[in-house]
């Protein structure tokens, strides 16, 4: 028998999954744009980021309405509470994607820079995003360990990049090296934050399924 609250929960799920797809695609677009020095996607990324913020607001309104009208408990309440946190995570995906393209807009072109470290890190972060979204779609908390293991790698890469960016650079190539170092440091920071939010989404899935947050947090 369908409960009245189920209509609201289904709508909530629909918005969250829309945000999942949009957030993931927006980050992918930003990373590809960085690889190719392509600023033509700036408007698209900005619009996607704005839509994610709008959808986050819609989730907030809907969750408050569901709690006020139906006073949910147990699994329903955990799901509603988690959706608010998950929607924030997807909104941040959009924000950091826009920050990435802004780096290219301000400091680019970066064709002469060594992008290998950023690209390597981005591949891991994209896999974390994909896994966290899959965990959400399936409500499968068994994927958490894989996400945490990848986060450990991202953290190591980020700290290494910070150390390298502080090295004294050749004065003869000061301007070029500065642009490369600054762009890499900024983008890797944004990628590191995206990886954190992928973990937070995994934590929310674990909370929905088990009622407890991840022991890693």
Which residues does the chain have with pLDDT short of 70? 1-2, 166-177, 214-217
- What is the tens place of the pLDDT at every residue in 198-213? 999 999 999 999 998 7
- C-alpha 146/C-alpha 115 separation (Å) is 26
- What is the tens place of the pLDDT at every residue in 32-55? 999 999 999 999 999 999 999 999
What domains are defined for the chain? 4-210 (1.20.58.220)
């Amino acid at each position: 028998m369908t409960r009245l609250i189920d209509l609201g929960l289904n709508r909530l799920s629909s918005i969250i999954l829309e945000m999942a797809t949009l957030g993931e695609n927006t980050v992918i677009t930003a990373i590809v744009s960085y690889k190719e020095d392509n600023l033509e996607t700036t408007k698209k990324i900005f619009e996607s980021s704005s839509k994610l913020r709008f959808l986050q607001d819609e989730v907030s309104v809907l969750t408050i309405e569901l709690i006020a009208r139906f006073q949910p408990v147990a699994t329903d309440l955990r799901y509603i509470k988690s959706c608010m946190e998950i929607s924030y995570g997807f909104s941040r995906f959009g924000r950091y994607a826009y920050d990435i393209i802004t780096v290219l807009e301000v400091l680019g072109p970066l064709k002469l820079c060594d992008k290998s470290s950023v690209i390597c890190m981005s591949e891991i972060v994209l896999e974390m995003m994909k896994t966290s979204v899959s965990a959400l779609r399936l409500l499968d908390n068994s994927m958490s360990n894989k996400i945490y293991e990848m986060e450990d790698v991202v953290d190591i890469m980020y700290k290494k990049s910070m150390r390298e960016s502080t090295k004294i650079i050749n004065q003869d190539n000061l301007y070029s090296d500065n642009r490369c170092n600054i762009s890499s440091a900024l983008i890797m920071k944004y990628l590191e934050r995206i990886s954190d939010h992928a973990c937070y989404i995994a934590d929310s899935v674990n909370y929905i399924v088990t009622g407890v947050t991840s022991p890693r947090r």
